[in-house]
Amino acid sequence: KQEVTQIPAALSVPEGENLVLNCSFTDSAIYNLQWFRQDPGKGLTSLLLIQSSQREQTSGRLNASLDKSSGRSTLYIAASQPGDSATYLCAVRRGETSGSRLTFGEGTQLTVNP
Amino acid sequence: DAGITQSPRYKITETGRQVTLMCHQTWSHSYMFWYRQDLGHGLRLIYYSAAADITDKGEVPDGYVVSRSKTENFPLTLESATRSQTSVYFCASRYGPSNTEAFFGQGTRLTVV
């Protein structure tokens, strides 16, 4: 059974700092990995999708990397801003079939202090 | 509005009552999913659907029923609500089996008293 772990559970940083969020998964046979952002009381917003054949994806100040063999992904946020404060979730998808659901980590709650 | 919408956003119901959570998407995505989010468990899949009239169980299906008569709608029914079903429920959709993103609704916060 796939298990996804995100460390740390919470992180507080000053504005402007570069930071890394970690995601690890136990089964390296994944199809893709997706990073989401969740604001309090809101739904999930997709940030980046990394296919199993890719090593990284970038969107603006965000860069996500994937190392399948070691079962790890990182989300790098450059020059953090207070608006980046949210919970960040990673989710892995096992296969290509219709039943291949996303398995989620419990998230890292990020606070960026002005 | 385009996208994926859930209703209601908040619901309080009594134990034993039937309640239906609605999900509607405007993208004509084939795949739709229902997840619940609980502290200590993260998001867990309840049911999913690959197309109209095709549904299947996820990780935690007990006590829930789904239907999908139209591609754009995927309602989730709690037949006899229990306190353990107090949770935040998220609907999601995806274009197809290919390597595409899943998109989530805003969630329904359900409290069973």
B28-80: pLDDT as tens digits: 899 999 999 998 888 999 999 989 999 999 989 999 999 999 999 999 999 99
Nearest to A105 by CA among A33, A40, A46: A33
Say if the Cβ atoms of A31 and B99 lie within 8 Å. yes
A53 to chain B, any CB pair closer than 8 A? The answer is no
The pairing of beta strand B87-94 with beta strand B102-104: antiparallel
A85: helix, strand or coil: coil
pLDDT band for position A101 (50/70/90)?
confident
A40-74: pLDDT as tens digits: 888 899 999 999 999 999 999 999 999 999 999 99
DSSP string for B35-91: EEEETTTEEEEEEEEEETTEEEE-SS-TTEEE--SSTTB--EEESS--GGG-EEEEE
Distance between CA atoms of B81 and A112, rounded to whole angstroms? 39
pLDDT of residue B96: 75
Backbone angles phi, psi at A83, to 5 degrees: -70, -10
Query: SS in 3 state form for A9-57?
Result: CEEEEECCCCEEEEEEECCCCCCEEEEEEECCCCCEEEEEEEECCCCEE
pLDDT at position A98 over 80? no
What is the chain A residue with the closest CA to B6?
Answer: A43
B9-27: pLDDT as tens digits: 999 999 999 999 999 999 9
Residues of B with CB under 8 A from a CB of A: 31, 33, 40-45, 48, 50, 56, 58-59, 90, 92, 97-107, 109
Q: What is the DSSP letter of A98?
A: T
Nearest to A102 by CA among B62, B19, B10, B101: B101
What is the chain A residue with the closest CA to B46?
Answer: A101
Using a CB-CB cut-off of 8 Å, the residues of chain B touching A91 are 43, 102
Percent of all residues in chain A with a pLDDT value above 70, rounded to a whole number? 96
